[in-house]
Amino acid sequence: MRAVVQLVRSAQVSVGGEVACEMGEGLLALVGVGQADTAESAAALAQRMVHLRIFADDAGRMNRSLLDTGGTLGVVSQFTLFGDARHGRRPSFVAACRAEQAAPLVEAVVDAARELGVPVVTGRFQASMEVSLVNSGPVTILLDTEKLF
């Protein structure tokens, strides 16, 4: 699984002009599921995001996690994270998991994060979403359960 994780002051996801979710301070994660991903991948990604120490401590150093700050995790599915644009101009998405297998794995990330004690909000799977956010820092981290980056 892959995630683009952004430290945010606030974020909102809308679908068809209707607010699907909104959050205050926390992490907004765009999450992609690959063909080889499993429930274990989902749990590992949730662990990494919840424990990721990118919030400032009293000395201004990135040393606190969502658990330390009481922040919210926003999860938005995004299959395009598995887009391969190395050849030509049109990305290939063959490495992305099919929707019927990806949906329960994205939900497994959400469930695992909630079990770790973090409030979680989500977009709508397979919907055309409008995501707005106020990035803090800006801080953006790339995560991959295969540790490719």
Q: Which residue's structure tokens are 């749990």?
A: 43
Which member of 80, 101, 126, 140 is catalytic?
Answer: 80
Known catalytic residue at 79: yes
Is 78 a residue of the active site?
yes
Under DSSP, is residue 110 helix (H, G, I), strand (E, B) or coil? helix
84 vs 115: CA distance, rounded Å: 33
- Considering the candidates 6, 55, 72, 78, report the single residue annotated as catalytic: 78
Distance of CA 147 to the CA centre of its chain: 16
End-to-end CA distance of the chain: 12
Q: How far apart are CA 60 and CA 56, in angstroms?
A: 5
80 is catalytic: yes
Choosing from 6, 55, 72, 79, the catalytic residue is 79
Catalogue the active-site residues. 78-80
